[in-house]
Structure 1
Amino acid sequence: MANQRGRVVLVTGAGSGIGRAIALRQAAAGDIVLATDIDLGAAEQTAKLADGACHAFTLDVRSPEQWTELTDAVIAEFGVPDILVNNAGIALGGAFLDQTAQDWEKILSINVYGIIHGCKIVGSKMVQRGRPGHIVVIASGAAWTPNRVAPSYSTSKAAALMIAESLRTELAPKNIGVSAICPGATRTQLAANATLIATDGAATEDVRADFMDVQSRYAFATPDMVARAVQYAIRFNLGIVPVNFDATLAWVLHRISPALMRAICSIPTMKMAEGVARVATDRLPANVKFHRD
Structure 2
Amino acid sequence: MAALLDGLAVERCSADGLTAALAGRGSVHLVAHGPAVAAVWEYLFRPDAVDHVASVTLSVSDRRGLLARRSGAATPPGPVAVPVQVIAGSGKADEDLAARAPRLWQRVVTTGRPTPTTHPQVYARAVRQLVDHLGGAPAARELLRAQVGRARGTFGDTLVSVTGAGSGIGRETALAFAAEGADLIISDVDADGLAETARRLAEAGATAHTYTVDVADAAAVEAFAEEVCATHGVPDVVVNNAGVGHAGFFLDTPAEEYDRVFDINFGGVVNGCRAFGRRLVERGIGGHIVNVASMAAYTPVNVMNAYCTSKAAVFMFSDCLRAELDSAGIGLTTICPGVIRTNILETTRFSLPDARVDVETLRARARRGFAVRRFGPEKVARAIVAAVRKNKAVRPVTSEAYLVYGIAHAAPQAMRSAARGGNVV
TM above 0.5: yes
Tell me whether 235-244 or 206-215 shows the greater mean CA deviation.
206-215
Task: Find the aligned partners of 1:190 and 1:42 in 2 and give their Cα distance.
Answer: 13
Moved >6 Å (runs of 4+): none
Would the aligned equivalents of 1:9 and 1:81 in 2 still touch at CA under 8 Å?
yes
1:247 lines up with 2:401 in the alignment: yes
Task: Find the aligned partners of 1:155 and 1:268 in 2 and give their Cα distance.
Answer: 19
Question: 5 Å matches for 1:115-126?
Answer: 115-126=269-280
1:166 lines up with 2:315 in the alignment: no
User: What residue is the counterpart of 1:12 in the other structure?
Assistant: 163
CA RMSD in angstroms comes to 1.6
SS of 1:270's equivalent in the other structure is: coil
Q: Please tell me the residue identity of whatever aligns with 1:55.
A: H
Q: Which of 243, 256, 280 is 1:102 aligned to?
A: 256
Would the aligned equivalents of 1:220 and 1:245 in 2 still touch at CA under 8 Å?
no
Per-residue CA deviation, residues 162-203 of structure 1 (Å, 9 max, x unaligned), is 111110000000000000000001000111100012353572
Would the aligned equivalents of 2:189 and 2:212 in 1 still touch at CA under 8 Å?
yes
1:73 lines up with 2:224 in the alignment: no
1:48 lines up with 2:172 in the alignment: no
Q: Which of 110, 121, 128 is 2:282 aligned to?
A: 128
How far is the alpha carbon of 1:40 from its aligned partner?
1.7
Would the aligned equivalents of 1:186 and 1:223 in 2 still touch at CA under 8 Å?
yes
Question: 5 Å matches for 1:272-291?
Answer: none
Would the aligned equivalents of 2:253 and 2:352 in 1 still touch at CA under 8 Å?
no
Q: Please tell me the residue identity of whatever aligns with 1:175.
A: G
1:212 lines up with 2:357 in the alignment: no
> Which structure 2 segments of 5+ residues have no match?
1-144, 146-152
Task: Find the aligned partners of 2:422 and 2:402 in 1 and give their Cα distance.
Answer: 20
1:35 lines up with 2:186 in the alignment: yes
Aligned length: 270
Q: Please tell me the residue identity of whatever aligns with 2:172.
A: A
How far is the alpha carbon of 1:130 from its aligned partner?
0.5
Tell me whether 217-226 or 148-157 shows the greater mean CA deviation.
217-226
Compare the two structures and name the one with the higher helix fraction.
1
How far is the alpha carbon of 1:103 from its aligned partner?
1.6
Q: Please tell me the residue identity of whatever aligns with 2:344.
A: L
Task: Find the aligned partners of 1:268 and 1:218 in 2 and give their Cα distance.
Answer: 22
Q: Please tell me the residue identity of whatever aligns with 1:182.
A: C
Q: Please tell me the residue identity of whatever aligns with 2:174.
A: A
Larger radius of gyration: 2
1:145 lines up with 2:299 in the alignment: yes
Structure with the larger RCO, 1 or 2 (CA within 8 Å, 6+ apart): 1
Q: Please tell me the residue identity of whatever aligns with 1:72.
A: E
SS of 1:60's equivalent in the other structure is: coil
Per-residue CA deviation, residues 55-79 of structure 1 (Å, 9 max, x unaligned), is 2210100111211221122112210
Q: TM-score, normalised by structure 2?
A: 0.61
Task: Find the aligned partners of 2:209 and 2:365 in 1 and give their Cα distance.
Answer: 35
User: What residue is the counterpart of 2:76 in the other structure?
Assistant: none
Question: 5 Å matches for 1:180-199?
Answer: 180-199=334-353
How far is the alpha carbon of 1:246 from its aligned partner?
0.8
Q: Which of 376, 385, 390 is 1:236 aligned to?
A: 390
SS of 2:210's equivalent in the other structure is: strand
Q: Percent identity?
A: 36
> Which structure 1 segments of 5+ residues have no match?
272-293
Q: TM-score, normalised by structure 1?
A: 0.88
Would the aligned equivalents of 1:184 and 1:220 in 2 still touch at CA under 8 Å?
no
